[in-house]
Amino acid sequence: MTVIVLCALTSWVAQRAAAVFHDGVRPFLLDFVQGRSTRRATAAVSFGLSAGFVFGLGAPLALSTGVLNPWLVFLPTDVLGLVSPKRWLAAVLGGAWGAVVVFGVGGANSWVHELPVDFVTAMQQMATPILYLFTLFPVLAVTQQFGRLRGGLCGVLELALVVLSLKLWPKVFPGSIAMAAGVLILVGLALHRDWGRPTGPEEDPEEDPEEDPEEDPMAGLFRAGAVRLRSHLPLLMLLGAGVCLLCQEHVLGGGEASGFLIAKGDYGGAAQVDFYRAFGFIPLIATTALASGAYGIAGFTLVYPVGYLLPSPWLALAAGALVFGVEVMLLSWAGRALGGLPSVRDASGHLRNAITQSLQLAILFGSLAAANAMGGGPGILVVGGLYLFNEVTGRPVTRMAAAPAAVIAGGILLNVLYWLHLFTPAAR
């Protein structure tokens, strides 16, 4: 019921253009809100950007972990809300999608486990590559922004911390401390560069008057966005309460790695992973929210780790509402602060790129391991072949989602071959 109600709420919120989950859709909402774009056109953009993630990433991860994720839950409600001409219809469609997710994932899990080629169990092989390679994203970001030397030193430090964690704290996810150190190094280097930037006499005072008129339109746009967001504050706080509650029930994981950690019962590790991940998205979410007047369904994503760690649903409802309320009220200040910290903004972009790069490799390795587990050499041939075919045909399925989608398609094909007596699973 929590999932169904929350999906109805997120679809209703999207219908009002008050919030959407996909960061790439949010900038298009400004034209929709100001009447320069139609509802149908905006919904088409949302569908085009989201479909690959829903079926290629969200569904496979939910099947393999048993934990829901935002791509499966919230991206479809973006589309359903934006395409609905009436608010009540958006709520009905969103709730219906929530029911499909809840009963569909459970039913699919039960059905697949009875198949001769159990590709869902095989997909659990994705956990180790995702968890450990994801640990390296701060190293990649430091290298991209501050050079090979600092990146190499950060990598050596992270490796040492992983080894120490395995030795001293075997029950703790070993990447947690390493990621914390890497993110702190990146942020520290970025702040040092910004605070050490020359000011005062070296600046040309005659440039400021010329630049101000160019900045005024953007400042006005951000101000209008902040006013619109505050007008939806009660609705957004309700949304934050619902997302936090779902995380507290450990039904929803905010990322690829945290879903596997929640499935293992490591809620502290999941909270740390999603907390560090948030640093890469806060500037993006803040600027797109201020520019469009539409917030993120998960806000700054800080509500995820808060929810994982809370002991009570009632505390989760209160904390989620409070977190969203504080975030919305501080958006204008965050926008101004980020304007004076260009290296921190760049660090956020490098973090997002590094997260994508590390996860693309991890998901590909994990998908090939799953292919080997479910079908040996033929499994690798089918899954790897589908992935390569997607590459050479212009990536109709986004790269990150292509490999998990290939595992599911390959698993279905191997089952068909088994029923035709053309393939025998290794376990038989």
Mean pLDDT split into 10-residue runs, the chain, 428 residues: 95 93 87 85 89 87 90 94 93 95 84 84 89 91 93 94 88 85 90 73 46 51 82 94 95 90 91 89 85 90 95 95 93 78 86 90 93 90 94 89 92 92 74
> Is 25 a domain residue?
yes
> Is 96 a domain residue?
yes
Picking from 44, 53, 12, 52, the residue whose alpha carbon sits closest to that of residue 25 is 44
pLDDT of 104 reads: 86
Q: Name, in order, each residue with C-beta under 8 angstroms of 405's C-beta and a sequence gap of 6 or more.
A: 55, 56, 57, 60, 386, 397
> Is 162 a domain residue?
no
Phi-psi sector, 147: left (phi>0), alpha (psi -120 to 50), beta: left
pLDDT of 206 reads: 44
Query: Interior CA angle at 1 toward 54 and 285, to 5°?
Result: 45
Query: Interior CA angle at 12 toward 280 and 70, to 5°?
Result: 35
Output the DSSP codes for 274-313: HHHHHTTTHHHHHHHHHHHS-EETTTTTTHHHHHHH-S-H
Structural domain count, the chain: 1
Domain of 217? 2-132+212-419
The distance of Cα 38 from the centroid of its chain, to the nearest Å, equals 27
pLDDT digits (tens, 9 = 90+) for 175-225: 888 988 999 999 899 888 888 766 554 444 444 444 444 444 556 667 788
Cα dihedral 65/67/70/75 (nearest 10): 80
Sign of CA dihedral 227, 228, 230, 231: positive
**Pairwise CA distance, residues 123 & 120, whole Å:** 5
The answer to whether 79 and 1 are in contact (CB under 8 A) is no
pLDDT of 291 reads: 83
pLDDT of 33 reads: 82
pLDDT of 362 reads: 92
In three-state secondary structure terms, 68 is: strand
pLDDT of 341 reads: 79
The answer to whether 47 and 79 are in contact (CB under 8 A) is yes
> Is 368 a domain residue?
yes
> Is 313 a domain residue?
yes
pTM: 0.85
Single-letter code of the amino acid located at 67: V
> Is 171 a domain residue?
no
Q: Which two tokens stand for residue 62?
A: 């939910």
Residue with tokens 């605070």: 195
Q: What is the DSSP code (8-state) at residue 117?
A: S
Query: 401: how many CB neighbours lie within 10 A of its CB?
Result: 24
> Is 100 a domain residue?
yes
296: which strand partners? 20
In three-state secondary structure terms, 425 is: coil
Picking from 155, 133, 195, the residue whose alpha carbon sits closest to that of residue 363 is 133
> Is 325 a domain residue?
yes
Picking from 295, 244, 331, the residue whose alpha carbon sits closest to that of residue 20 is 295
